[in-house]
Amino acid sequence: MAKEFYRDEGERVVISDAIVFDRRGGVIYLFKPRLTPEDVIASKFAAVIDEAGVRYAIVAGYIAILFGRARRSDDIDFVLEYLGEDKFVNLCRKARRAGFTMMQGNIESEESVRDVYRGYLVRGYSVRFMYGDIILPNIEAKLATTSVHRYVIFHSIRVVVNNEYTLRVSPLELQIAYKLYLGSDKDIGDAIFLYTLFKKIISLQELHMWCGRLGVDCGVLGGDNW
């Protein structure tokens, strides 16, 4: 990557020599020396969903981990746009070909996949996909059932990793407010990490808006403009 890439210029904001944000396209470019199992699993599943033509966004802990938080996660959370049974069967077919299995059912059997759709997804439960023989982390996929889920998908930001693959992740402002809303030590740590790392590009107006909507006080983030 050319050195000029790592200079704040126009719409380009440099967070570090590993993270650059391009405001024009709302894209974060991430460069890391190697991929972790979490990265590999997330990228493989994102490719499956893209191929199935389903819109999605990654939410929760993996976002902080993707950007460098030093902790592990048991799952990588995907929110999928609402999809019908047949489309889910198609998605599972592609997931199986890509090397995924399903925790709640047999991904090889269409009947089982349909049972999982009816028994879990449409009832608001998530479905877990494992990549190869890896149990943790696994993919936790759920359907968008709330207005916040839908917002996350339609306003997701693109993260281009090593110029090799793209992930769609929740808007950072909403993610930070939501983490504060969840409120465990781990969640608060994630919120502070993301806020501190991305201070330069976060919209305070939007962050305040989401904190207000979720009824949390963002003062804990310790910004200059609270």
Partner 1 sequence: MTSVHEKELEADRRRNLEDVIKHARWEAEAARRLGRRWFELRDEWLIKAHEADKEMWEDARVREALVKAILAKDRVPRASRTQYSKAYQTTQKSKG
Which residues contact partner 1 by CB under 8 A?
Answer: 15-19, 31-38, 67-70, 72, 74, 103-104, 125-126, 128, 133-136, 138, 180-185, 187-197, 216-217, 219-220, 222
Q: Do 75 and 139 contact (CB within 8 A), yes or no?
A: yes
Smallest distance from the beta carbon of 93 to partner 1, in angstroms? 22
Tokens of 126: 């998530």
* Nearest to partner 1 of 90, 122 (CB atom): 122
**What is the distance between the terminal CA atoms of the chain, rounded to a whole angstrom?**
37
- How many residues make up the chain in this entry? 226
Cis peptide preceding 37, ω within 30 of 0: no
Smallest distance from the beta carbon of 134 to partner 1, in angstroms? 7
Smallest distance from the beta carbon of 192 to partner 1, in angstroms? 4
Let me know the angle formed at the C-alpha of 57 by 133 and 117, rounded to the nearest 5 degrees.
60
| Angstrom distance (rounded) from CA 67 to CA 161 | 10
Smallest distance from the beta carbon of 3 to partner 1, in angstroms? 13
Pairing verdict, β 75-80 and 134-143:
parallel
* Nearest to partner 1 of 113, 192 (CB atom): 192
Pairing verdict, β 100-102 and 165-169:
unpaired
Q: Do 71 and 185 contact (CB within 8 A), yes or no?
A: no
* Nearest to partner 1 of 26, 189 (CB atom): 189
Sheet holding 100-102, edge to edge: 12-14, 19-22, 27-30, 157-161, 165-169, 56-59, 75-80, 134-143, 127-131, 100-102
Smallest distance from the beta carbon of 116 to partner 1, in angstroms? 12
* Nearest to partner 1 of 4, 133 (CB atom): 133
Smallest distance from the beta carbon of 72 to partner 1, in angstroms? 6
* Nearest to partner 1 of 90, 223 (CB atom): 223
* Nearest to partner 1 of 154, 220 (CB atom): 220
